[in-house]
Amino acid sequence: MPLVRVDIKKHQDPTHAKRVGQLIYAAMHSAIGVPEHDNFQILAEHDEQHFIFDTEYLGIQRTDNLVIIQITLNEGRTLEQKKLLYKTIAESLHGELGVRMEDVFINLVEVKKENWSFGNGIAQYAS
């Protein structure tokens, strides 16, 4: 169960954020086996005053087309799976939407399964 948050600068194309989300979901499905229909995303666009980032941190040159992706998911993926996910997302956004690889910033937040409630006040994954 991933929960995906995507933050980008306001884009001219009103479908851009949704397309970014679709590509991220497809990458999660193929790279780490996220099941079909397990798609929960918050897609936010910001003006210049509310989208702040360093353009050169770690020697990576970033532009205003930066896509910040935070994925909260159950713990347990291997380092290789995580690397494949990062690569798949970046290559997909680059290939399909022209987002520079340098402009794809991803943060994974791993949590225990009991930290989810999908509705009804029940911890569905808790044993």
The β-bridge partners of 7 are 44, 68
Lookup result for tokens 């009804």: 120
| Active site annotation includes 35 | no
Active-site position among 2, 71, 92, 103: 2
β-pairing verdict for 67-74 and 104-111: parallel
d(CA 19, CA 79): 27
Enclosing H/E stretch for 79: helix 79-97
User: Which stretch of DSSP H or E encloses residue 2?
Assistant: none
What number of helices (H) and strands (E) belong to the chain? 2, 4
Catalytically active residues are 2
